[in-house]
Amino acid sequence: MTVSSAESRNGNYPGKGIGEPVGVAILGKGTVGTEVLRLLAEFSDNLEHRIGGPIEVRGVAVSNLDKHKDAPEVAGIYLTDNARELIDRDDVDVVVELIGGIDYPRELVLEALKNGKSVVTANKALVAAHADELSDAANAAGVDLYYEAAVAAAIPVVGMLRRSLAGDQVQRISGIVNGTTNFILDAMATSGMSYEDALAEATRLGYAEADPTADVEGHDAASKAAILASMGFHTRVTYDDVYCEGITKITAEDIAAAKQSNETIKLLAICERLLDDAGNTVGVNARVHPTLVANDHPLASVDKSYNAIFVEAEAAGRLMFYGNGAGGAPTASAVLGDLVGAARNKVHGGRAPAENPYANYEVVGFGEVHSRYHINMTVNDRVGVLADLSRMFAEAGISLSAVRQEESDDGAHLIVVTHSAQESKLSEIVDALTSHADVQAINSVIRLDA
């Protein structure tokens, strides 16, 4: 039975009608695009029942026709190197963007949205940089913008924030959202590898790209942190708002010191609601940096290339979402989940919950955040050094929770763990320590999860 637009239960956003096909354009045919096409073919009957009408792939846009023309997954499917021609077709209802990058995909996605096409994207960098512009365009056209696959692949964290916790107040989100860095840190912890050796192993196994900069310097995780903060706190947070520090300075000695303290080092994305003394929200912050995590925390046991997101909400309490955060099949699973939602709305009418930055909290700079520091330094081995340095911390208003001194051939290793203090003050004390006559070197500064 076909239901007319006038009979749709969603008059503002009428559907095509049950049984009507949903035309899909796929932009990009890399690892994820290939998996999406495979799953669409394999699950076509099931997807039709879930949607209320069949999905029909109108075409696939690629940059190099010769490279893909003989691929079995595009047999019988229109292949083009003109993405604009494809998304402008009247028989395309949903555009799936899997190109990557920012500028060119932004142009295509905006054009698709303005032309009344719903969009599904796995492009974290695009969403982190331009979520406001894309969401405004989707709202103006009355279409859907989905991006579950942009954060942690198959782990349904975006949908959780958008729907499941829509009636709650999220206080904090912390997580391991980059599989490459988690693999490297786990390899260093379990085998004693150096950072360089662990990176080489990650590259050999395909976990790290030929140029791993976006992963190991934290940029990939920062894009995801911006998305999580925006969704969790109903405030537009962009990539440029996120403090970002990678793992390239983490040494085997740091890993060993963490083990001695019954902790492990993880690259965490942390999104936090900042409160005043009365419990009122004064702003939000998003940051990415190596973090010492107590071994009894659920995130500490996340190994290899897995991802996990830990959410703390006022009513729901503490929740953790765990799974494959990257890879062709897991990412394609998230893309298809979004595609089913967008296609179902095209058939039945209505829209998915849209981004709603109603709270519009101030995005607070990293210097205002409270942190704890684990400082490892080499100092001159003389009587009174510890007292002098402790006095420096006290004069700066920073209290110490632990101090440990170890003898070495070139002086003494002094490990200081602070109580929570303002990040800017902690940074200042580290700068002051570097110029102290008795401090030979600051070996590492790692933050602790509060």
Residues classed as catalytic: 224
Contact assessment for residue 403 and residue 419, using Cβ atoms and an 8 Å cutoff:
no
31 annotated to a ligand binding site: yes
What is the distance between the alpha carbons of residues 280 and 71, in angstroms, rounded to a whole number?
57
Give, as one character, the DSSP assignment of residue 433: H
Q: Is 124 annotated as a binding residue?
A: yes
33 marked among binding-site residues: yes
213 is in an annotated binding site: no
R_g over Cα of the chain: 25
Cβ atoms of residues 342 and 352 within 8 Å: yes
Question: Is 327 marked within a binding site?
Answer: no
Element spanning 306, H or E? strand 306-313
Residue 224 · residue 124 · CB < 8 Å: yes
367 annotated to a ligand binding site: no
Structure tokens at 175: 């997580």
Task: Give kind and range of the element (H or E) at residue 189.
Answer: helix 179-191
Q: Which residues pair with 286 in a beta bridge?
A: 271
Burial 86-100 (b: 16+ CB within 10 A, else e): bbeeeebbbbbbbbb
Question: Minimal CA–CA distance to 359: which of 450, 191, 231?
Answer: 231
- Has 264 been labeled as part of a binding site? no
| CA–CA gap between residue 160 and residue 50 (Å, rounded) | 20
Beta carbons of 16 and 347 less than 8 angstroms apart? yes
Helix orientation angle between 44-51 and 31-42, rounded to the nearest 10 degrees: 80
Cα 163 versus chain centre, distance: 18
Classify residue 356 by its DSSP letter.
Answer: -
> Residues 6-40, buried b or exposed e (16+ Cβ, 10 A)?
eebeeeebbbbbeebbbbbbbbbbeebbbbbbebb
- List all residues 6 or more positions away from 64 whose beta carbon is below 8 Å from its beta carbon: 81
* 29 assigned binding-site residue: yes
Annotated binding site for NADPH: 124
Annotated binding site: 27-34, 124, 209
